């Protein structure tokens, strides 16, 4: 293979590329790598392949395994943060004064904190995202971009991608490369976490409720996880915030009922962006679900543990040690994946961060407290934003992070709405984690799979759902 991941003799063979394009699209459809269309996002009659790369992308084997091996430690870290109200209060104190969305989440957290929780069942399904940073001295290292603790997506569709790329490589007569693609089934692992939490809840009649958006383009990603649950005879329903507002209630034991059905688990595939809450009633529904005995995935404290401000605070010297006081090796494994993170709080330290960013904006990324892709700020836009808020507490709604410098490679991106073209691409590796805790006992803690997303280097930010990145597979080299 060339450094681009595509053999030179294949790159030069236009007829073969054309044939592989046709094979790839049909193979993706045959294997269920599907999304609904932008024009008819809620119609099951109109589907197309989800965007993906024609070839898998080379990823160094050692760094790939490093990302997998640290995931169970990240699971424990997120869980411990969620149980530490003092840390959450201190970490988010400045942010909740200026970021209305985080403030509303935190208000719900404070209300729930005041209510008794007897032997809670906690379920975490998260995804830690990384890029490979190439330093000036030629070394390559794994750097965490963020951790997603709510609605971590594409565990379903990426479970089908290994077979797609293996078939393309077989048709291209690249038999050795086929063996460098690992099996990968996050959908099954995420479902194992949901099933374990459902079992601990202890009612065979109770359902798992996927809380979903009203626009359903990515429904097949959900369905893979959902069908894994049905195969275990675990009943699943899909509802929106509006449905919970209309028919949700708590009984005297704080059991949650929606449309008359007891809910064992609320699996949030919605609720991570301000626009998901279309009225005050949506916020009332979130509070009701949080107050209930149902297992929340994530609960409100775990949702807050995934904020960018918490990520930045964890990078401060001595903070990780507080969560792993007798595990220096765990601290070292986690810290090795941190990129440089800097506070924008008011005061001398935050002032230095502002000046640093204004002096060399190309070296940094400005991040608000948002999930879902497409929210980060780059380049001269950093200067424009920071100049506007440099003397205001509004700057504390953001954190600053070193911009990771990945090594680009060439690939073809297949999209239903664009012609095939060779692009200079950048990739991001996500690792899925699943854990379940009952009271103080961690009953499950696993790394359950991975996700590689690739985008053209002309785009700074944005994921698959945002229409920028496409699905991919690591080709271990």
Q: Cite the annotated binding site for ATP by residue number.
A: 146, 308, 367-376, 378, 428, 455, 461
Catalytic residue among 4, 126, 153, 282: 153
> 148 catalytic, yes or no?
yes
Strands 470-472 and 474-476, sheet pairing: unpaired
Residue found under tokens 């699996």: 267
> 367 catalytic, yes or no?
yes
Residues at the annotated binding site for substrate? 127, 150-153, 216-218, 269-272, 453, 464-465
Strand-pair partners of 262: 257
> 453 catalytic, yes or no?
yes
Residues at the annotated binding site for Mg(2+)? 146, 148, 371
Judge whether 88 and 305 are in contact, CB under 8 Å.
yes
CA distance linking residue 134 with residue 33, whole number of Å: 32
> 213 catalytic, yes or no?
no
Strands 261-268 and 207-211, sheet pairing: parallel
Q: Where are the beta strands (DSSP E) in 3-87?
A: 34-36, 47-49, 52-53, 57-59
Catalytic residue among 166, 196, 308, 437: 308
Count the neighbouring beta carbons within 10 Å of the beta carbon of residue 440: 7
> 457 catalytic, yes or no?
no
**What are the residue ranges of helices labelled H in 70-178?**
71-82, 85-92, 95-98, 100-113, 161-171, 175-178
Catalytic residue among 146, 177, 290, 313: 146
Taking the alpha carbons at both ends of the chain, their separation in whole angstroms is 10
Catalytic residue among 177, 228, 290, 371: 371
Catalytic residue among 189, 437, 453, 463: 453
The angle, 0 to 180 degrees and rounded to 10, between the axes of the packed helices 328-335 and 71-82 is 100
CA distance linking residue 459 with residue 373, whole number of Å: 12
Please spell the DSSP secondary structure of 195-256, one letter per residue: HHHHHHHT-TT-EEEEE--S--TTHHHHHHHHHHHHHTT--EEEE-HHHHHHHEEE-TT--E
Closest CA to 180 of 331, 296, 64: 64
> 278 catalytic, yes or no?
no
Catalytic residue among 25, 127, 166, 174: 127
> 146 catalytic, yes or no?
yes
Give the H or E element holding residue 388.
helix 380-389
Catalytic residue among 293, 296, 367, 403: 367
Catalytic residue among 340, 372, 462, 467: 372
Q: Provide the 8-state DSSP code for 53.
A: E
Residues at the annotated binding site? 127, 146, 148, 150-153, 216-218, 269-272, 308, 367-376, 378, 428, 453, 455, 461, 464-465
Catalytic residue among 148, 184, 411, 445: 148
Q: Cα–Cα distances in Å, from 82 out to 76, 87, 133?
A: 10, 9, 29
Write out the catalytic residue numbers: 127, 146, 148, 153, 308, 367, 371-372, 453
């Amino acid at each position: 293979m060339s450094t681009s991941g595509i053999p030179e003799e294949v790159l030069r063979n236009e007829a073969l590329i054309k044939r592989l394009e046709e094979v790839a699209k049909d193979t993706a459809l045959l294997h269920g790598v599907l999304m609904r269309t932008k024009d008819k996002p809620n119609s099951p009659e109109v589907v197309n392949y989800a965007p993906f790369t024609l070839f898998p992308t080379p990823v160094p084997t050692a760094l790939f395994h490093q990302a997998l091996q640290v995931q169970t430690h990240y699971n424990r870290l997120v869980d411990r943060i969620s149980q530490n109200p003092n840390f959450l209060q201190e970490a988010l104190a400045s942010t909740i004064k200026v970021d209305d969305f985080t403030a509303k989440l935190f208000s719900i957290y404070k209300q729930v904190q005041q209510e008794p929780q007897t032997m809670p069942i906690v379920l975490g399904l998260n995804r830690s995202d990384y890029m490979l940073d190439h330093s000036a001295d030629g070394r390559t290292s794994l750097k965490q971009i963020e951790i997603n603790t709510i609605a971590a997506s594409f565990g379903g569709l990426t479970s089908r991608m290994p077979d797609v790329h293996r078939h393309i490589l077989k048709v291209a007569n690249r038999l050795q490369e086929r063996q460098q693609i690992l099996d990968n089934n996050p959908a099954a692992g995420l479902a194992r976490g949901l099933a374990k939490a459902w079992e601990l809840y202890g009612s065979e009649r109770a359902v798992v409720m996927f809380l979903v958006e009203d626009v359903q383009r990515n429904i097949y990603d959900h369905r893979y996880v959902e069908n894994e649950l049905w195969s275990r005879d675990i009943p699943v329903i899909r509802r929106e915030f509006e449905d919970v507002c209309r028919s949700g209630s708590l009984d005297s034991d704080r059991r949650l009922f929606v449309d008359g059905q007891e809910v064992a688990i609320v699996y949030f595939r919605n609720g991570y962006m301000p626009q998901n809450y279309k009225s005050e009633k949506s916020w009332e529904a979130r509070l009701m679900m949080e107050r209930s005995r149902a297992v929340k995935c994530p609960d409100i404290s775990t949702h807050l543990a995934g904020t960018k401000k918490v990520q930045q605070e964890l990078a401060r010297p001595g903070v990780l040690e507080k969560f792993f006081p007798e595990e220096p090796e765990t601290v070292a494994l986690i810290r090795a994946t941190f990129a440089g993170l800097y506070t924008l709080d008011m005061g001398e330290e935050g002032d230095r961060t502002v000046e640093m960013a204004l002096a060399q904006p190309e070296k940094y990324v400005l991040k608000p407290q948002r999930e879902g892709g497409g929210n980060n700020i780059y380049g001269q836009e950093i200067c424009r934003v920071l100049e506007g808020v440099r003397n205001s507490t509004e700057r504390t709604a953001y954190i600053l992070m070193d911009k990771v410098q990945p090594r680009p490679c060439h690939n073809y991106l297949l999209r239903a709405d664009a012609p095939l073209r060779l692009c200079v691409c950048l990739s991001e590796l996500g690792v899925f984690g699943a854990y379940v805790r009952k009271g103080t006992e961690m009953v499950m803690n696993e790394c359950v799979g991975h996700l590689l997303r690739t985008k053209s280097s002309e785009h700074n930010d944005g994921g698959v759902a945002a229409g920028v990145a496409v699905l991919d597979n690591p080709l271990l080299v």
